[in-house]
Amino acid sequence: MGKSYETIFENNRKWVEEKLGQDADFFKKLAEGQSPEYLYIGCSDSRATAEELMGMKPGEVFVHRNIANLVNTLDMSSTAVIQYAVQHLKVKHIIVCGHYGCGGVKAAMTPQDFGLMNPWLRTIRDVYRLHQEELDEIKDEQLRYDRLIELNVQEQCINVIKMACVQERYILDQYPIVHGWVFDLKTGKLIDLNIDFEEILKNIQKVYDLTNSDWVMSRKNNKNF
């Protein structure tokens, strides 16, 4: 077994000792449950870890990661995570976070057959198609790439807002609120894209209203949701 692999367990031992030195009941408290206010949907890229870049502690953020931070309604993994976070953990904020230099977005911009990755990358290519006029006007390839990363985050936020569990919970509790971020690897800074959650929700409800408002309002009055 490689030395780097064994180092992981040594690091874990040191981490346990450090935490117990700070708080003898740390793991006892950790095992009691979780009540995070944030759901973070990010890229699987090894350079962009949610808790570290957010400065959050164990138990403070619920995390889902995949290639290029996509929320595809046919992907049961991401949709199940969102539904669990919204209905059971009662998170107050859902964050979709992309990052500049994303390999998944770069691959989607490349005219190449990626085999089993093609259906996944098609979601990003659909983002390009939706915003092709704006993107084609950007002559600098790097700037176009960066802008597609931002637009991909925006479209994935919209996909989150389309979900019935998100709409229903917001009507009942005014939460969760959906945010779009980009992480800049070159500076280490998080950039808030200032997604207008309420305006997006208002604009899409003509087509994507899944709340059955009579049912939702009766549940709100009973406070049993």
Contact 181, 97 (CB under 8 A): yes
Cα separation, 149 vs 153, whole angstroms: 6
Q: Which residue has the tokens 């000792």?
A: 17
Length of the chain measured in residues: 225
Cα 190–Cα 76–Cα 198 angle in degrees, nearest 5: 50
**Sequential DSSP letters for 8-59:** HHHHHHHHHHHHHHH-TTHHHHHTT----SEEEEEE--TT--HHHHHTPPTT
- Torsion (CA) 152, 157, 158, 160 in degrees, nearest 10: 130
Enumerate the active-site residues.
Answer: 43, 45, 47, 99, 102
